[in-house]
Amino acid sequence: MMRCVALLIVILSANAVRLTSTTLRADETATEPAVKLWEWGKGIAVESMQAERMTVYLWFYEWNMFDARAKGQHTRGSHDGKRTVSPDGRTAVIDTSDMQLTARAVDDGAELTLEITNRTGHTWPEVAGIIPCFNPGAPSHRAKQYPKAMLNARFDNTNTWYAGKNLLKKLIGRDIHFNARLRKQVDRKAKGGRFVFSDKWPTSPDDAHAGLIVRESNDGRWVTGIAWERFLSAQGHNPWSCMHLGVNVGPLKPKESRTIRGRIYLFPGTRNDAFERFGRAFAD
């Protein structure tokens, strides 16, 4: 009888060990991130672990607008900042002399925080902005022009939407849609009704009403996009398949600073799902 009891205890103990091990493995799996960040040549990449080669790229950054960082309507930006990515791919930081962009991986993309300081000798106007370039991957027909790792046939260059008044509107051509709140100030910057960028980005009469631009995958199963709580403009369908959501960084006097929240979205869902998440994240 004693031998039977002892044998039963051994069996139960072994099962307990196996159960504990299984539980630990499940917990460890649960903590694996759905998204990882990594460095690429001009900024950071956001990669979903839920589908093969589901990666989007943030070029930080491509353009200045309306006297931000340099005087002029439209001047070149720089992607020469120091880039640091944590070993686990959870966080990434890009540092420049006057800006720090921090990205933190979350299940549906990445949370962004931009800290910017005016280190020039002139005051930046309220409409001053910078434009990061956001790319969901180059189309396969441009394989000769881009690294193989950046090819992604899932997102068509024309399936793009920006935030109109209380709804998403489809982006047409390469028109630039300015923030409705800033539109009168933007128009005053024009000369003869035109800007230096008008030939490539015609100014649309339809304004944007919130800082979000998204693109659905061709099969309608995935959505990606970028958002900023303070935005200047929405524009896309460029040759590099990219989307431009301008960050509104003005007004800033010399030595003044500002912190701006942003978001990258990459998850299984639709443009309306992204619109709803944007509304919740930036409701305040």
Cβ atoms of residues 263 and 278 within 8 Å: yes
Instruction: Tell me the pLDDT band of 138, cut-offs 50, 70 and 90.
Output: low
Note whether 162 and 246 are same-domain residues.
yes
Provide DSSP, 65-106.
ETTSSSSSSEEE----SEEEE-TTSSEEEEE-SSEEEEEEEE
Note whether 24 and 110 are same-domain residues.
no
Q: Residue 260 is which amino acid?
A: I
Note whether 24 and 51 are same-domain residues.
no
Mean predicted lDDT score pLDDT of the chain: 86
Helix runs in the chain, H state only: 2-30, 183-188, 271-281
Identify the weakest region by mean pLDDT among 59-68, 191-200, 235-244. 235-244
Note whether 77 and 132 are same-domain residues.
yes
Note whether 26 and 57 are same-domain residues.
no
Torsion angles phi and psi, residue 7, rounded to 5: -65, -40
Which range marks the domain in which residue 189 is found? Answer: 34-281
Note whether 153 and 268 are same-domain residues.
yes
Note whether 118 and 27 are same-domain residues.
no
Give the count of domains, the chain. 2
Q: How far apart are CA 96 and CA 80, in angstroms?
A: 8
More confident residue, 229 or 158: 229
Cβ atoms of residues 152 and 171 within 8 Å: no
Cβ atoms of residues 104 and 90 within 8 Å: yes
CA–centroid distance for 6 within its chain: 61
Residue count of the chain, please give it. Answer: 284
Q: How far apart are CA 240 and CA 64, in angstroms?
A: 18
Res 1: pLDDT? 46
Tell me how far apart the terminal alpha carbons of the chain are, to the nearest angstrom.
70
Identify the weakest region by mean pLDDT among 15-29, 73-87, 118-132, 189-203. 15-29
Res 152: pLDDT? 58
Identify the weakest region by mean pLDDT among 22-36, 117-131, 190-204, 251-265. 22-36
The 8-class DSSP code of residue 182 comes to G
CATH number at residue 83: 2.70.98
Note whether 17 and 122 are same-domain residues.
no
9-51 per-position pLDDT tens digit: 333 344 433 333 333 333 444 466 799 999 988 999 999 998 8
Note whether 166 and 77 are same-domain residues.
yes
Note whether 27 and 155 are same-domain residues.
no
Q: Residue 216 is which amino acid?
A: E
HSE, side-chain direction, 13 A CA sphere, residue 177: 28
Q: How far apart are CA 148 and CA 242, in angstroms?
A: 17
Instruction: Report the percent of the chain where pLDDT is more than 70.
Output: 82
87-102 per-position pLDDT tens digit: 999 999 999 999 999 9
Note whether 78 and 94 are same-domain residues.
yes
Note whether 156 and 89 are same-domain residues.
yes
Q: How far apart are CA 259 and CA 50, in angstroms?
A: 31
